[in-house]
Chains A and B, each alone.
Chain A
Amino acid sequence: MSLKVGERAPDFELPSHLGTQVRLSDYRGRRNVVIAFFPLAWTPV
């Protein structure tokens, strides 16, 4: 089951295709974040 509205988003840090490390908590207090999970690159899956 996915997380629900009102829950705290777990923090994470991942490498990006732009060569940067991105940490969710870096946006805390600065920006709203839209996180878009997608299944696999190159495929319409």
Chain B
Amino acid sequence: MNTQVLGISVDSVPCLKAWAESLGGITYPLLSDFYPHGRVAQMFGVLRAEGYSERAIFIVDKQGVIQYVDVHKIDEQPNNEEIFRVLEKLEPHATAAPTRAPEPAAPEPTADVVLYCTSWCPTCRRAREFLKQHGIAYVEIDIGKDRAAAARVRQWANGNETTPTFNIKGTIIVDFDQDRLKQVLGLK
């Protein structure tokens, strides 16, 4: 869709950068409304007395006119479906175009121990240390990059992308369950 997403918060640029990295990278720009503090949030009428903004979505069309406003409870996530409906109305032909091509089905690697993880998850880091410490050779798959692998993890983990998840010669272990790992790997 011919749409640009912009995130905005009152955080500083280095803070947003570190946060985006901790989330494994965010591809759309996160904008820093840090100085003068909250000025843009104020212009849009969503700066709270506490000094940070509401959780709010504005859709601005190509003419620069606001087409949708949603200010929601601060602990709730926005309603993505509603946002897509508004965007489809603005750009009807965009929806007629074929959507994303299906993910190529990457085959499951044939290694004895496959670790499904992400680059940022702290438990994955501990799992790598655990495997190294016990001298276990393993193959690692970053499910943030390999979406076909992410789909396999969702099948095993009740629809969640739980990391780490292990495939040990066909035995699946969801999460870093050390006792179960030792049992399946035949460790003391």
**In angstroms, how far is the closest chain B Cβ from the Cβ of A9?**
4
**In angstroms, how far is the closest chain B Cβ from the Cβ of A21?**
9
B48: A residues at CB distance < 8 A: 39
Q: How many A-B residue pairs have CB under 8 A?
A: 168
- Pick the residue among B9, B45, B59, B67 that contacts A40 (CB under 8 A): B9
B10: A residues at CB distance < 8 A: 40
- Pick the residue among B33, B43, B91 that contacts A10 (CB under 8 A): B43
Interface residues of chain A: helix, strand, loop or mixed (majority)? loop
Q: Are A14 and B31 in contact (CB under 8 A)?
A: yes
Q: Which residues of B contact A (CB under 8 A)?
A: 1-11, 13, 15-17, 19-20, 22, 26, 29-33, 39-41, 43-46, 48, 52-69, 71, 74-75, 78, 83, 87, 90-91
The 4 closest A-B CB pairs, nearest first, are A16-B29, A41-B19, A2-B45, A17-B16
